[in-house]
Amino acid sequence: MANGFPEGNFRLINKDTGHCLASFYGGQSYGQQDAYDRLTGEKGSITYSHTNDRVFGIRSKPQGEDIELWWFDSSKDSWGTPKNYLYNLITDIRSRWVLQPNSAQSYSPSPIGPKLEDFVTPGGNFMEVYSAYQRIENRRYDFEEMRNVPEKYQKQYLSRFDEQTRKDYELFVKMYPADAPQKFSYPLKDITEPAVGLRMFGAGREGVKSWRYEDGFIYVSGDWYTVLTIAYKTDSDEAVAVLTKRGAPNQQWKFS
């Protein structure tokens, strides 16, 4: 076994959920480009098609198709270094395809802002509060600096600003109490660390990653802490495969 992966073709199946990794057909794109006949002077257009990259995905369980099959390439490059690429069995006229992290598909916790309706006084106008909120966000750095002024100098310091700014600052203090813990929303259930998706990547491109299988975990060589994981989106329960820190559920894999 090379870097923990078996020889020959195999499926990658999550031990906890049963999902398997797969590479799907990405379809074709069509377009037109201008054309010019030098003999007749006639102008026109030529229709062309382009084969898209294959698309990485997962299946809830294996279905016995070749798109679910992978193989591990431990051959050496021109420098004598093992490639350790993880190939899908399916190729097309353009390339062979390897598994690759997809930094463009990120899942990161985001801070939860205040509920503006909580700051509308009885009989007040929500739009006025919303406008104030926009002004506050535009000057968030300035207001944080104001908050750092010692309390005994606050009144004197704030007198330098116009009445609207002082009112906005008062609302800012209510919306963002200095001692309140920051709350976050998490795009993936049971995962509090940032995560990135995966993609199919042309094997001839620069930057292809090598992989390792160890103790049931799959990770990019050199990044032991970040492992392949099946996660569920918070807003839809859709299952996705991601790379995230160890300690989350569904991080153990087997070969079939």
Nearest alpha-carbon partner for 94 in 205, 192, 175, 179: 205
The span from the CA of 175 to the CA of 173, in Å, is: 6
Q: Which pLDDT tens digit goes with each residue over 183-216?
A: 889 999 999 999 999 999 999 899 999 999 999 9
What are the extents of the domains in the chain? 12-25+48-107+190-255, 113-182
Domain 12-25+48-107+190-255 CATH class label? mainly beta
Read off φ and ψ for residue 165, nearest 5 degrees: -65, -40
Enter the tokens of residue 169: 């600052």
The span from the CA of 76 to the CA of 98, in Å, is: 16
* pTM (global) more than 0.95: no
How far is residue 171 from each of residues 112, 123, 166, 228, measured CA to CA in Å?
17, 17, 9, 44
Look at residue 7 and tell me whether its pLDDT is greater than 90: yes
Enter the tokens of residue 243: 């790379």
Tell me the pLDDT band of 116, cut-offs 50, 70 and 90. Answer: confident
pLDDT at 184: 86
The span from the CA of 173 to the CA of 147, in Å, is: 8
- State whether the Cα torsion 90-92-96-102 is positive or negative: negative
